[in-house]
Structure 1
Amino acid sequence: MKLLQIRLLVKDFKKSVEFYKDLLGIPISWYEDEMEYALFNNGETKIELLSQKAMMKVIGNEDESLSGESPSNFLLQFEVEDVDKTYDYLRENGIEFVTAPHDRKEWRSRIAHFRDPDKNLIEIYKML
């Protein structure tokens, strides 16, 4: 697995975009206001911003109070050769997934999610 991007799951999307874009001067390579998503191109490993609310929708839990867990503040995204094969391998080795492999057409990707022992969110990803 190759670390592709670090996704910061932010509470105030617009304020966070201004911070990284205007104050830190990191160029944006993709921005979607309605989706509350921004991709900052700062080198090989990118930084993404996505609102916590939008991420909770992605993992199928729009009401985070139902899970008893607070949303993560970040997500590690790993690029893999095959999301389904990686998912099968990790499940066979005891990892419980938050989401099964699925396509996100708006992201042009196939993804699945799980948490590390400290409940940090991890995404395996393959561009379609």
Structure 2
Amino acid sequence: MELTQIRLLVSDFPTVYRFYRDTLGLKPQFEAETGPYAKLSPDSGHAAIALQDRSHMADVLERLGANPAGHRSLIALRVDDLDATHTELTSRGAVFVRDPIPMGDRMRVAYLEDPEGNLIELQEWLCPPS
């Protein structure tokens, strides 16, 4: 078995797509602003976030609630310089729910939400992972 991607089911596909592409700066595998599916990667290209229009998936499964309540996912992205990334993303319109703070002695983190309330954790590793 091989994990191929993590996919977020979204209700407002164009808005969420533009957030990940324009605000976070992830690179789309192909342009798909109107959906129903897209895959976007950071510059490293080692991982990807996929978006799927929630209503499209509801049609495929023939069942799926319209909108989940509360936080349903957290995406963690590692960055080299959390303060610089925080400044850059803020200038692109990102609104952080928690500015950079220490998380133990191994990393610093900051949190923001995408337009549908999915949490995004930005991590700056202070020590190499063990």
Greater helix fraction, Structure 1 or Structure 2:
1
TM-score, structure 2 length as denominator? 0.43
TM-score, structure 1 length as denominator? 0.44
Greater strand fraction, Structure 1 or Structure 2:
1
Which protein has the larger Cα radius of gyration, Structure 1 or Structure 2?
2
